[in-house]
A and B are shown apart, each in its own frame.
Chain A
Amino acid sequence: MEQPYDYDRNGVSALLYAIIEQHSNSQSRDWLMQRSNVLQETKSVQQFNLTFSAIPRFTGKDLLTLPTGIISNLQHAAHGFFVQHYTLDRLTRTWWLLQWPSDNRDAYVQTVEGLFNAAEMNELVALYGALPLLPWPQEWKLRTAEGIRSNIGTVLEAIMLDNPYPARYLDEPAWNQLVMKALFTEKPVHRIIGLDERANARLAATLVDYAHERWAAGRTVNPMLWRLVAGFINEATMPDIQRIWQSAENIEKDAAALACYYSPYPPAKALLKQSPRAEQDIIKGALSWSRVAEKLGGN
């Protein structure tokens, strides 16, 4: 029988609570415990919703600075769930989502969908960021695709950046939409988890079309785009690689070299041979996609 959680829920809940405990005062801890008891006794949706909304009033919204050990413990415990740049209210909301009984699949989904439907901005960030931890992971695919259509920057970031859920569960069209939209809205795409693993030919083709549109409009193209194209360079796209290879911008040249290096297409390999220095830099690690991302100033 399918289990609600695809990771050790109790362990992760305890890890999250330990962080909350350490970073909040006794007043907010007492309040949370009291809310938790009320929830266990009443199983009331309204109580669950009200607490979710009220959390920042009790915890405050300070940015958490967590030791790397704690961050990586959580990553290991839950398929790469990443608590970097979390505020205390967001982390507490994440924990709270794990407190609603999960055994009844429909009831859980209905309750949490209700939170999504009436969520304010910060609540949306907390909800989408918590996707990797929600029970019944198959149930949130449409919700995630819906979130990718959001125009609210912080909401998009919560879904796209450092979030392992989309790569694990989205189907290809939704995944491609996510990557496209991330490039389109100028997000630091290197922070998309599963970027290389889920690269695909259809996405590469769409991105090349997108690059052509940008060029036709006299606009620049994010060099990181070619990272998604690298594995799929072919006769049709080779002229584009040659174009950025000859770019006046060093960062575009770097992207061309990297794309050629990671391409299995022989003419691309041959192009890289024209610059033994670039090839050496890549082999030594002096030139890499992360370096390109750093140069772009992505956060």
Chain B
Amino acid sequence: MCCSQQLTEKDLQPQPMQQGYIDRIRGMRFFDPHVHMTSRTTDDYQAMADAGITAIIEPAFWLGQPRTGVDTFRDYFSSLIGWERFRASQFGIKHYCTIGLNSKEANNERLAEAVMEILPLFIYKEGVVGVGEIGFDDQTPAEEKYYRAQLELAKEANLPVQIHTPHRDKKQGTQRSMDIAIEHGLNPAMVIVDHNNEETVKEVLDRGFWAAFTIYPFTKMGNERMVDIVKQYGSERIMVNSAADWGISDPLAVPKTAALMHESGIDSNHIHLVTYRNAITAFSQSGQINEADFETVKQIDQSEKFNGSTVLRGGQQPRIDKNAIIIR
């Protein structure tokens, strides 16, 4: 989730495109365990596939403005396991999601109760790899109540938990999130604490949780800082994601970070772990990730000819030339 930040004139100027990093990561595959594709365009899907992103997790979150009824939650959850999953498959990307009531909207208690009632309908679905993103925003009593209730739900369903840590009062909020998870008897190995930074990472790792880092311009981590973190802490239980959404964010943050790590001389095994393998290890504890599916979703037969022109079976999207002035 984005929030405002002081921008300078320089941040507002158009910038030249540099695609050179793609060469550094050619042939590598990536797993982005936190990206809100609902808010992104098909151009993003195409660019992600081109950059080697093989699979993604889309956590349920808030949509920028509060919902007013349980039916819009139902439709949102159902789009995460239906339409968005299909949309990703058109670009050869395997789409998973986590389902949960986000912290902001937990503050509307009447609505929150109704959402809690429909959650069991969704968390047992195929391809739902966790309960998330849940946790604290303002750290209100209502947020705590539904965070706790959802931890219980995750425990019962034996699903990993994806924790959103707050923007404000982050360090304390992160500690509290972990304390409560432990209090509810969750195994830290089943909990992915997201949006870490230099201030939170040590404790998260020391207590046995997974530490996820969101590479998100202006408000969260930058990838130069991420390089330093991996240099300092290594790759065990660390993963990076983009959390790209409707804000100024970058769905290519994971491959770009891999390229920067490569450039900075970080060992390729570390890069592999933090940009691919660790996220799979953490979330496949749901029993819902089968790596063979990454290949299946790519098997989009482009060779079928129809009436002399190529038809993209399985619903794959044809490419358009972005630089052409002519649109056919």
Contact = CB atoms under 8 A, between A and B. Distances in A.
User: Do chains A and B stick together as partners?
Assistant: yes
Interface of A: 46, 49-50, 53-54, 56-57, 117-124, 151-154, 186, 218, 220, 222-223, 249, 251, 296-297, 299
Contact of A117 (B74, B85, B314): B74
A57 B287 contact: yes
Contact of B82 (A54, A121, A249): A121
Interface string B103-132: 000000000000000101110111100000
B232 to A, nearest CB: 40
A120 B124 CA distance: 11
Contacts of A218: 328
B117 to A, nearest CB: 11
Contacts of A299: 304, 313
B246 interface: no
Contacts of A122: 126
A116 to B, nearest CB: 10
Given A118-B74, A121-B85, A154-B86, A53 B307 contact: no
Query: Taking chain A's interface residues, is the majority helix, strand, or loop, or is none over half, making it mixed?
Result: helix
Given A46-B120, A50-B124, A121 B81 contact: yes
B311 interface: yes
A251 B306 CA distance: 11
Contacts of B121: 49, 118
B42 interface: no
A49 B121 CA distance: 8
B86 A54 contact: no
B309 interface: yes
A119 B77 CA distance: 10
Nearest to B127: A120
Nearest to B315: A153
B78 interface: yes
B322 interface: no
Contact of A124 (B82, B305, B308): B82
A251 B120 contact: no
A186 B120 CA distance: 37
Given A46-B120, A117-B78, A120-B81, A186 B86 contact: no
Contacts of A296: 306-307
Nearest to B123: A53
B86 A153 contact: yes
B307 A220 contact: yes
Contacts of B233: none
B306 A297 contact: yes
B214 to A, nearest CB: 26
17 contacts: A46-B120, A49-B121, A53-B125, A57-B126, A57-B287, A117-B78, A118-B125, A119-B82, A120-B85, A152-B82, A152-B86, A153-B315, A154-B86, A220-B307, A220-B309, A223-B307, A297-B305
Contacts of B315: 152-154
Contacts of B311: 186
B82 A56 contact: no
Contacts of B304: 297, 299
A296 B82 CA distance: 30
Contacts of A154: 86, 314-315
Contacts of B81: 119-121
Nearest to B81: A120
A214 to B, nearest CB: 11
